[in-house]
Each structure stands twice: as structure tokens, then as C-alpha cells.
Amino acid sequence: MKTRILFISLVSAGVMLLAGCNRNKADLNNSNNHNNSSNQLNQLLSPATAKVPEDSQTDKPNLLYSQFYKDGNQWHWKLSSKQDGLIDDSQIKSVKSAGQKDVYKFNLVSNTNKKYQLNFNWINGGHQAYTINTSYHSVDANFILADTNQSAEWHNGTPQALEGSWATDYTKNPNNSQQLPYIKQFLNITDTTTNSFVNEYDGNHRLYNSNTNSNTNNLSYQATSQGLYVLKSYSNTSTPVVYNIAIINANQIKVTGLTSAPLTLVKSSSTATTTQDQDPITSSQSGSSTASSATSQQATPGTTSNHLTDQQVVNWIWPQVKSIYPNMNVSSTDFTYMPQMRNGLLYVDVLENHDAAVFKNSKVDSNTDPRVASFRVNSSGQLEEMDSTTGSWIVVSQRTSK
């Protein structure tokens, strides 16, 4: 009997010990989940602690206000309006990815103990503006951090110093592409629009792919201090694209909002000085191959069909550009060249740099459209220029082999 009692006691102790271990593991997992969620919320929401009115392209009589704040280790979301005051003050219980890039799903509990979900995302690259969508209180709105300072005014258009085409130097492809290891980020700013895209290049800096990030209009700006600006504009939806831009000098700017980290871009950043090296008109590299079909998609990296370096692009089209200015002593560096691959073909827009001395001395109106001409390489390997009146393409140069 004593042996049976001892055996039962040992079994009971083992069960209790196992239960204790399982409970400790569960507590540890819950603690880890809480810490991970808290760390993720810290990264997401730390830049969003200001009280911000919703962005509206039409004046609303009762603007909503959004504010995230942290009380101890607990993140909260406060919703209010101009007329109604405080609407809700909810605790954020957890966060997870919503299955879309940069979109997160929050689980919250309101101050009336209502459980609900909210979708949150930072708009474009930097922490400049965010979107909130939740069926609770029917909120679907954008919030621009620059609107925190309600005394700052938005002005139509853009400062003249920011107008132009800007790009980074060649940088490492973040997609870790071995076949296309380099990229350039482009940003074109006019008085009413912005256009940003990324070009992907092979190891010899030949252009293969172009990915458009955004095309926007209805551009406006705030001047936050000397040489510092906030630009906002809109795509086909009502979602704003927002950039913070610092002017470094006449030909260099620092942009926050294109990617998660600030980027330095320069004007006329495609290598614009004409050279005799690798001229695509006579180069055996490009002259010995045929151009891609007009209906083809992206060509395979490693081939040279219809794929040129930025330098080759400038060398080829420069004689055509120079002929447009028979009475002006222009050089290739007085222009900006914007090459893009579209539907398997290479397109190039050429724009005047109105800050160049030759245009300033000629008193060219800086408010005029800087676009000079548009070119493309057709499926037969010929250089074509677009007729600005009809939109048709006319062959202006033919590639030949040495």
C-alpha cells in the first residue's frame, strides 16, 4: 500500500510539474508576443504622436483629428472632431500585417469597451502621411503630419528651385538582383505634377527595367523654413503623395518620402556629357544586335538588344537635341535626360535645365514647359523622335555596325 501511495504521489507531482512548465511556456510566449507587438507599434507609431487634422481636398465642416500616444507601455489611438470634441480613446491591443505592403491591422478596445479593427499605413516611403480605415465610427481618411502646424499655408504649384528632373546615382538594387544589381531613383517635378520611377541596370549600367512609383497632379507646397519644403499631390485616388525636400544647392536636393530613408538627388543626373566612348550609333556592342520587339516585355539580362547605358543614350540623341537650338551655344549638360523602358522599348524625355547659364542669359521663361523632345528606340533599332503636334514617331537616326 505504501508503495502505491508513493507511486501516485510521484505521478501527481510529475503532472503538476509538467503543468507548471506548460504554463510557464505559455506565459513566456504571451510575453514574447506582447514584446514583439509593442516593439512593432513603437516603430510604426512613434512618428505619429502629433494631433493631426484629416486631409481633405474639399473643405469639410467637421474635420476629424487623429492622434496616437503611449501611456506607460500601452499605445492608444485618440479620435476627435472639430464640432464633437473627443469621439473615442481606444487601447491598441495587437498589430499584424494586413497582407498588403506597409498596411497593418490593429486590434483595439474603445473607451466604451467596444472591440474593433483598424487598418493603418504610412503613405509612400517616409513618415510624412498616413491612412486610417475602420468601420467603427466610419473613418476612412488621410492625415498629413505637416498639417499639425495649422498656421502653415498650402500654396498651389511648387517653388521654382524644386522644378526639374532629379535622380540618384547608381545604387545597389535592394531586391538583391544578381542580373540587375544597380538602380537609379528618378523624381520629376513640374509646376503642377510629380513623377517618380526606378530604373534597373545590369552590371554594365545598361537599362533593362523601369518601375513607375507614382504619377500625380494637383501639386501644392508648404515652406517650413529656409530651403525646406513639403510637397503634396494626388494620384487618381484621393490619397496624397507627400515629400519633404531640403535644398542642398541649385543642383542637389535631399528628399524624404521616396523610400523609407532620405535620398540625395541631383539635377541632370544621367551622365550628360557627350563622349566618344561607346557611341551606340557605331558601337559594335549595340550595333551588332537587333532591338527588342515593340510588343515584347522585359528582355533577359545579359543580352544587349535595345539596352543602352545612360551615357550611350545621351551620345545618340544629343545631335538631335543640339539641332533644335541653332542660334544658342548649348551643351549636353544644359539638359536633363530621363530614360525609361516601357513595353520593351527604350523611351527618353529631354528637358531643359532652366538653371543652366545659357538659358538664364537668354532670359528663357522658367515657367514654360521644360520638355524639349521625346525619343524612343523602335523595334528595328532605329532612333525615333515624337512629333509634338501629331504624337507620331519619325525615324531620325539608324544604328550601324563598325
Which pLDDT does position 384 carry in this prediction? Answer: 95
What's the chain's Rg over C-alpha atoms? 29
State the residue for C-alpha cell 495587437: 94
Predicted confidence at residue 17, as pLDDT, reads 46
77 and 65 Cβ atoms separated by less than 8 Å: no
pLDDT at 248: 96
The confidence score (pLDDT) of residue 125 equals 78
Give CA–CA dist 319/323, Å, rounded: 6
Burial 145-176 (b: 16+ CB within 10 A, else e): bbbeeeeeeeeeebbeebbbbbbbebeebeee
How does pLDDT run across 48-81, given as a tens digit for each residue?
999 999 997 666 778 899 999 999 999 999 999 9
> Which portions of the chain are predicted below pLDDT 70?
1-36, 57-59, 268-305, 366-367, 399-402
Long-range contacts of 241-250 (CB under 8 A, 24+ apart): 241/123, 241/124, 241/194, 241/214, 241/216, 242/123, 242/124, 242/128, 242/129, 242/144, 242/146, 243/124, 243/126, 243/128, 243/187, 243/194, 244/126, 244/128, 245/162, 247/161, 247/162, 250/161, 250/355
